[in-house]
Structures are given as C-alpha cells and as structure tokens.
Structure 1
C-alpha cells in the first residue's frame, strides 16, 4: 500500500516549488530549449517505465534530480504533452541470458572487480558544508528532413553545490559555456547547404512526425535553487534530507531492499529489464551523493548482483580517463536506435567518472545522419566531486 501521508507531503513540496518558479522557467518560455528537450526525455521515459519498461532516454535525465527542477518538469509536460505519443513497439528488454560457460566466468570475474571497487569506495571521508559535483555534458542530436539529415553536438558544463548544514542553500548551475554546432565536417557542409540556420528542427519520434527545435550557437547559463527546506535530493519517488541520506543502509542486502521498496513505490514495471535499469540509475545516483562511504560501497555491491549487467575491467571514458565500465544493453525502437548504458568508474577510489549512452543498433534516421554503432550519443563526465566550505560562484549572466 502506498504511503499516502508521504505522497501528500511530497505534493506540498512540489506546490511550494511551483509557486516559487520565476518567469524565466515558465514552460511557455522554455519551448524549444535544451531544458525542454531534457524534460521531454524524462517525461517519455516515465510514461514507458510504467508500462513496457524503461526507455533508453531515461539515462539522459540528470543523474541527481534537483528538487527545484521538479516543478519545471511538471510544467513543461503541459507544453509537450500534445507532442508525446506512445509507440507500440517502443519497449525495452534485457538481452536473453544465453551465456556460455566462459561468459558466465567473465560475469563472475566482473562481479569480483566491482567488489574491489566497493572496498575502495568504503574508505572514510571527512564531511563539509557543501557537497559539490562538477560535470561536462555532451549530447548528439539528429536534425533536418528526410534525405537531408545531419547531426548537432551540444556541450555544456554544470556545477551542483548542495548545502548540507542548517541555513545553507543548494545551487545548480547548468549550461556553462554551452554551445550547439554541427558535429563533423560533413555536418557543417549539410548545415551550410541548408542556409546555416540558427533555428533547426529534428525528429523526436521514429516515424519523424514529432519534432523538436534546437538553437545553433552559444547558450546562457541557468542557476536554480534546488533545496526545499532541509530536503536536498530526490531519491526514487521521495525527497530526502542530508540526515536521511546518512541513515541509508550500509549493508548491501538492506540497501538493495530499500531500493526495491522505492522502486515499487515509484510504480516500476515488473520486468527484470525495468528493475535493472532503475536500480542501475539509482545506485549511480547514490555513488555521487554525500552518503556514508559504507553506503557508497554497498551501492557497488548492489550493482555487482544486478542481472544483465556487464563489466569491462579496462575502459576509457569520453574524456580519455582510464577506469572500469559497468554496462547494460537496452534494445528499443527510439529515434536513434538501440543503446548501451555505461558507467565508467575509477576502481582505485570508487569515484564515478562518466555516465554514457553508446549507440549499438542505429536506426534508419541515425544511419542517414552518419551515426554508426559505437558512437557515444550522450555523456555526462564528472570532473570533480567532493566537499567544500565555499558556495559556488554564480556567473553574472546566469538566468534564474
């Protein structure tokens, strides 16, 4: 049975955030923006997760969902709801477990590797006032009409500073040094042949009937206040405080049970593919939150027991950093095709290096635009994560 009291408290927080939304975050003004595209990805993913399993684009949602963004997501749904249509064939499923004995041995070795990472992640660490994460994000999108498709590459930096002490605030900066431009030389030629437009559109559905807008050029950073009183993170379907984070289980079995409970509360699909994708995403969240080191270690142990995941002991992230990759293949009829979700971690420290979406089975739209299997179509690389006593500096040109 759902905890109606908890749900009610959550709705009160949502209403407070919605009432406090500044004009700059009005959904009408967000039409066609990158924020709206990210919201669309989240909304379509949520719709699919409740029925046929997770949409691969669920991996594109912010790893740590800021509380202040919830009202924006809900409001943006009003704008894009007329564009979103459920595709009957847009299901996701884990690949069948037809592993050979050698493959099974590889899986066991991979789990052992993850347990080694868990040990490194459990090293004690000091606490501070602000838990800060700095990221670099890249997205690849297909634009243009059939017969004239090409790709855009959008880059942006981000900083999230979460205040954990009484009286502190949490700030999220997104769109730092943001820029959208044709991805390759061939794409630049195709864009020039189209008249070098600043405003372009691309398909948002496999049949090309739904479309999204993009702006070529530089963007303006945005700052958001992401705390609501003492609630600083969204964990599954609920908002949590720093104290609640520090009280999460440090035992892998108990942490897995807690995540299962949250998964059920969020209405997760009763399939192994939906559960695995959800657990992978939320354990990745925990790895980058200011939880107890032992909880972070337990999150890696939970990862090690998830069905369907793979482990690459030697991997390189999109910034060229060496690490180990945890992978989950996802087959689905999306705009770009089937993808593989990847977490690249530093095995020596247990720190998350990057979250990536790699194209494995390009769709016709993706192939026409020149995308091939193995192309990383989205990544969010973590370049810094740790404690600080100083709040981040907000650029003068940032929009609230």
Structure 2
C-alpha cells in the first residue's frame, strides 16, 4: 500500500473524496472563500458549545470538545466545506447535529460572524496618504418623486469639495463637507481621530434626536460612513464590528446590486423599514443599501455606492 493509498483510506472517508483526489493539484481557494469557510466552523462551534451548555449532562453522549467534535463528525462539516470550496463560494448554513438544537437562530450567528470577518478584511486594506477621496453615489428616493440620479465628488484633506457635473466638468464647492457622526459633522482629519474600539465608537454614533431610536441611528451612521466617507481601514473595521453587535441583523445569501455587482446580502428590519445591505466579501466594500416597506416591499430609498476610494488627482 502506498502513502497516497493510506492517506485516501484513512483521511478522506467522506462523500466526494474520490472527486477531490481525481482533481489533482488545484489552485488554492480565494481569501474570501477561506474566511467564509472559517466562519462556518466558528458558527458551528458557537452553536454546538451553547447547546451543550443547556443540555443536561445525563441526556447527551460523551463528545470531544472544541474543534475535535467537528472532526468527529466529518460527514456534516468536512463535506459541506469541501463542496463550498469547490464551488468558490460559501454561504452561512445552519450546521446542527442530530442530538442537539441550535441555541440561537443560525442566521443571527452567521450575520455576526460574517460582519466580524468583513472587519478583518477591511482592516487588511492599506492605509492611504492620497490627497483626495472620490465618491460616486447613485440615489433613488421614491418619496421626493425624482428619478434616480448619480452624484460624484472629490474631497481634499482640508474639507474642500469638488463636484463633478453631468457633462464631466468640475465645480469647486465652497462649503466644507462633513460626515455625520452622532450629532456632529466631522471632516476627513477628524474622522481619523475617531476611536477604533467598537464600544467606544458605538457610543459616539447614535444621535439623541433620532426618530428611529438608538439602534436605527447607529445602523444608519455606520452604513453611511462605510459607503461614502474616507474612513481609514481601522475605522472601517470598527464600524463592521459595531454592526456585528447590533441585534436583528440576518444574512440572506448571495445577491446583486442594481448594477449587477455580486456580494452577500444582509437585512435588518424595524417596524417601519427593512434595510438591506450588499457587501463585497472580497474587499469589504459596501455596494448598496436599500430601504423598503416591511409589509409591502415597496422601495423607499436605494443608495448604490459606485466609487469610494482614495485618488491622487481630480479627473
């Protein structure tokens, strides 16, 4: 018996193993695929551990703790991960055993895990010393009766804004652009001074005058900063961790924005609005935010973030 025969029989005893072996050498999975697969494992561990904590010891079988219990059930976890890696995408399924029930809704756990993973992706982006920040945003407000319109502008580090006109020409705006953080408007330099500890940052985001309440205001503040501000990588990571700590956010699966860009969708529902985010899991960029009426599904607003990046010059 060869070494490969021993490896195959001892370690690849699960459905689909033959297909993987026959494929030979393949390119390593993409970074976002690995991160998502790790999220599946972490979510399964969290649910299994919490379920074990509330199950009477006499009623549950002896099982290895931590990661060992996952590898003890290879057909549940390994097969799912192999299929996900082979497909190049990973969704966040509920991984449960036959003798336990999840201690919390699977989507709630995977939303928290996904957003924390996006925090890691955002934090890994390089810092910039570029003199300008370019933002291009398509806005569709049904309430004001206007057709969807696209705005594009450049911001410099002193707060001066250069608007891009529909014909491609530019106009310097003499008002200083600020970014809403709670009850304050901050410029680029002030954003750089915001704390990156999630709890400290969250305490600054809610507006005391928000009609939607603290959670809604925190959610709105965080998504606006992610979609159209020059937030540095560490601040973007902290914003995702703030969102991860909010109740009620759920992963709804793969999705496309209005332009056809692909990402992962999350939803958050209040009594008056359902907010849907589409995030690019590879870059951590917020692609689109949509607000709809929760009962009718009627579109109330859509913000499509086409460009939000540092640039070296205008034009």
What's the TM-score bracket when you normalise by the shorter of the two chains? 0.5 to 0.7
Q: Deviations over 1:214-250 (max 9, x none)?
A: xxxxxxx99672643xx64333322223221111112
**What secondary structure, in the 3-state scheme, does the structure 1 residue paired with 2:225 have?**
helix
Q: Deviations over 1:46-73 (max 9, x none)?
A: xxxxxxxxxxxxxxxxxxxxxxxxxxxx
Q: Deviations over 1:295-352 (max 9, x none)?
A: 10010000001122222242222222211223221333xxxxxx41122111111111
Q: Deviations over 1:10-42 (max 9, x none)?
A: xxxxxxxxxxxxxxxxxxxxxxxxxxxxxxxxx
Quick one: distance in 2 between partners of 1:224 and 1:139?
26
1:162 counterpart residue number:
155
Contact 1:226 1:232 in 2 (8 A): no
Q: TM-score, normalised by structure 1?
A: 0.47
Alignment CA distance shift 1:102-1:136 (3 Å): farther
1:134 counterpart residue number:
136
Shift, 1:101, TM fit: 5.0
Bigger radius of gyration among the two: 2
The reply to whether residue 281 of structure 1 matches residue 220 of structure 2 is yes
1:341 to 232, 254, 275: 275
1:318 counterpart residue number:
258
The reply to whether residue 110 of structure 1 matches residue 104 of structure 2 is no
Of residues 276-285 and 132-141 in structure 1, the stretch that sits farther from structure 2 once superposed is 132-141
Q: What is the aligned length?
A: 212
Contact 1:118 1:298 in 2 (8 A): yes
What are the equivalent positions in structure 2 for 1:141-160 lying under 5 Å apart?
Answer: 154-160=147-153
Quick one: distance in 1 between partners of 2:203 and 2:150?
35
**What secondary structure, in the 3-state scheme, does the structure 2 residue paired with 1:254 have?**
helix
Quick one: distance in 1 between partners of 2:219 and 2:174?
23
1:248 to 194, 205, 227: 194
1:225 counterpart residue number:
173
Alignment CA distance shift 1:136-1:226 (3 Å): farther
RMSD after superposition:
2.9
Alignment CA distance shift 1:360-1:226 (3 Å): farther
Quick one: distance in 2 between partners of 1:243 and 1:139?
30
Contact 2:163 2:172 in 1 (8 A): yes
Contact 1:172 1:226 in 2 (8 A): no
Ranges in structure 1 where 5+ consecutive residues have no aligned partner? 1-99, 143-151, 178-220, 333-338, 363-372, 393-400
Alignment CA distance shift 1:252-1:299 (3 Å): same
**What secondary structure, in the 3-state scheme, does the structure 1 residue paired with 2:160 have?**
coil
1:388 counterpart residue number:
311
1:309 counterpart residue number:
249
What are the equivalent positions in structure 2 for 1:336-375 lying under 5 Å apart?
Answer: 339-362=273-296, 373=297, 375=298
Q: TM-score, normalised by structure 2?
A: 0.59
1:293 counterpart residue number:
233
Shift, 1:109, TM fit: 1.4
Q: Deviations over 1:263-314 (max 9, x none)?
A: 23xx346xxx621211111001221321221110010000001122222242
More strand by share: 1
Alignment CA distance shift 1:257-1:137 (3 Å): closer
1:70 counterpart residue number:
none
Alignment CA distance shift 1:108-1:171 (3 Å): same
Contact 1:171 1:225 in 2 (8 A): yes
Ranges in structure 2 where 5+ consecutive residues have no aligned partner? 1-100
